[in-house]
């Protein structure tokens, strides 16, 4: 078994694209103006902020922090799907489905 333990720009870029795809695919379930909608907005802002941080770190050559940040971003989106605040449209590769 060969372990690939090198964090490269290409590897981080792969996860940035994967998370962007997840963010675009997942659609809101609750209606605007509800408590669930407000909670979803907080979660998506966290995802967007972490994605932005990941891009910043990557652009500055800090692949470790970029990798950590993009994983947090994806986790916020995935949590939205798991909590049924976002519809993952049956995609069990991008999301941990309910």
Alpha-helix residue ranges (DSSP H) falling in 35-62: 35-59
What's the chain's average pLDDT? 95
Instruction: Please give the pLDDT value at position 4.
Output: 73
Instruction: Please give the pLDDT value at position 6.
Output: 86
Res 2 pLDDT > 70: no
Res 49 pLDDT > 90: yes
Question: Hey, what domains does the chain have and what are their CATH numbers?
Answer: 9-87 (1.20.1270.90)
CA distance 47 to 70: 8
Angle between helix axes 35-59 and 63-82 (nearest 10 degrees) is 160
């Amino acid at each position: 078994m060969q372990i690939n333990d090198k964090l490269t720009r290409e590897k981080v870029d792969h996860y940035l694209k994967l998370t962007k795809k997840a963010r675009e695919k997942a659609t809101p379930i609750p209606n605007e103006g509800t408590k669930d909608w407000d909670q979803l907005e907080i979660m998506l802002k966290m995802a967007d902020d972490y994605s932005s941080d990941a891009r910043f770190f990557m652009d500055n050559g800090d692949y470790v922090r970029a990798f950590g940040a993009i994983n947090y971003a994806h986790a916020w989106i995935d949590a939205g799907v798991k909590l049924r605040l976002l519809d993952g449209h049956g995609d069990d590769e991008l999301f941990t489905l309910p």
